[in-house]
Structure 1
Amino acid sequence: MKESDDYETFMALKEEKLLKNYGIKPTHTAQEMEYLASKFPDNIKLFVAEKEGEMVYGAIIYESDNVAHGQYQESTEEGQRLRAPDFVLDQLLHKYLKEKKYFDFGISTENNGYYLNKGLVKYKETFGGRAVVYDTYKMDV
């Protein structure tokens, strides 16, 4: 695992998977993530696993004083085969649980929060995570 600034490659991977599986794009573009990371270098970081110089997994982490939040995570098929998500998440947990009060794996829902991805929740629970339900509000402006 290493820290990277290759948001272009990572977000292209994320967009490809989201379009293929759900017909949607990520909230942020690669350019937006690069801009945000440049403005908040202590708070937004990309961690990756590579095989022979090729990114096989990445995770964008948002940091605050008490929380490390997994905003985006994605893996190639090769990354899945190599269990790169398991490796990187284990490394991130060891890093952040020394520094932060909480590690937030990010959402486990689909369809704007209407569908719980039970397999994803179970995966996060294998790392000691637990589900938390947040109140959400919608306001027309």
Structure 2
Amino acid sequence: MMFEVRRYSADDADCWNALVAQSKTGLFLFDRRFMDYHSDRFEDVSALVLRDGEPVAALPASRHGDEAVSHGGLTFGGLIARSDLRTPDVIDAFDKALEGLRDWGVRKLTIKSIPAPFTTQPSGELDYHLWRRGFVLAGRDVSSIVPLRDPLSPSKAKLRDSKRAAKLGCEVRDTSLADFHPLLAEVLLARHGRDPVHSQDELVQLQAALPDRLLVRCAWLDGEPVAGTLLFRYGAVWHTQYLASNEAGRKANALDLVIASAMAEAASEGADWFSFGISMSGEELNEGLLWQKESFGARTILFDRWTGDL
């Protein structure tokens, strides 16, 4: 099967998004309405692979000198392939994308693999081909996820603390970013000395473009949000992109109630998984953070990064 490749341009946004919608790794992160909110921070060298003039695969990528990452601004990367492509075709399409990257001056590539729960169909052929091409495992992070269809019971402490928060008057509500982001910024600055990765304006812009994908749930107490989460809704996976609790929220165990409520909502909406993200400090496991997640019944999946010369 003959493929051709061209470098992505803004004129390709509609066909790129249509491909994402037809792919088995079609996370909304790859939608150009999401990717392009921070386009000023990255030099885009994404490859669009075509057959008979029709896009069938794409490789999101950003360049940093003669090295590229798929993609520097995204949690995951790798090849976006139309669901009807068979394994040999996916391999050939990926090789064609790499050929394009080489022509555009890229000499080394890092791929952030998509864990299986986040895909709509099996898609292990890319990791296989990366290994076959001599790519090496450059990093492996521990992430935590709850199987909502057959969950482990939360710990007795989490069940108790969630009930306590409700008895103290905490109420979990759908909340605006205008109410949640100041809470998040306050907590991150006080506890970690940093700002959120996303500004409030950026998140508002993203939620306006993708309203069914970004959800905010907060526990309110005495008329104020005291704990909350920004959820990314990836089809079968609901992911806690941000979690925050101020001093009043911590005293009331409000975040435990927020998480328990969000997990119940995700299950009721037909989600299969509830994701908490990684528990790493550099290459070291953050066991305290991991304990919090596993207390809700989460267990480990891996976020892998592959790197290789082109």
TM superposition score category, shorter chain reference: 0.7 to 0.9
What's the C-alpha RMSD, in Å, of the aligned pairs? 1.8
The runs of at least 4 consecutive aligned structure 1 residues that moved more than 3 Å come to none
CA distance in 2, matches of 1:3, 1:137: 38
Note if contact 1:105-1:124 (Cα within 8 Å) is conserved in structure 2: yes
* 1:102 correspondence with 2:273: yes
Structure 1, unmatched stretches of 5+, are none
Per the alignment, residue 124 of structure 1 pairs with 293
Q: Identity, % of aligned pairs?
A: 32
- CA displacement at 1:137 relative to structure 2: 4.7
Q: Work out the number of aligned pairs and report it.
A: 136
Number of the residue aligned with 1:114? 283
Aligned runs of 1:58-137 on 2, under 5 Å? Answer: 58-98=228-268, 99-110=270-281, 113-137=282-306
Say which SS state the counterpart of residue 135 (structure 1) adopts.
strand
Deviations 1:30-80 (A, max 9, x none): 111111111111110100111111010110001022110100010011111
Q: Which structure is higher in strand share? A: 2
CA–CA distance in structure 1, aligned partners of residues 307 and 203 of structure 2:
25
Q: Secondary structure at the match of 1:26?
A: coil
CA drift at 1:138: 6.8
Shift, 1:23, TM fit:
2.7
Which residue identity lines up with residue 124 of structure 1 in the other structure? K
Q: Which has the larger radius of gyration?
A: 2
In 2: Cα distance, 1:17 partner to 1:114 partner: 24
- Partners of 1:133 and 1:115 in 2: CA distance: 14
- The partner residue of 1:53 within 223, 227, 234 is 223
Provide the residue aligned with 1:23 in structure 2: 193
Name the SS of the counterpart of 2:299 in structure 1.
coil
Contact 2:183 2:225 in 1 (8 A): no
Counterpart code for 1:127: F
**5+ long unaligned stretches in structure 2:** 1-171
Please say if residues 183 and 226 of structure 2, whose CA atoms lie closer than 8 Å, have aligned partners that are also in contact: no
Instruction: Give 2:245's aligned amino acid.
Output: S
CA distance in 1 between counterparts of 2:183 and 2:249 reads: 12
**TM-score by structure 2 length?**
0.41
Secondary structure (helix, strand or coil) at the match of 1:100 reads: coil
Calculate the TM-score normalised by the size of structure 1. Answer: 0.87
How far off is 1:120 after superposition?
1.2
- Which stretch of the first structure deviates more once superposed, 71-80 or 15-24? 15-24
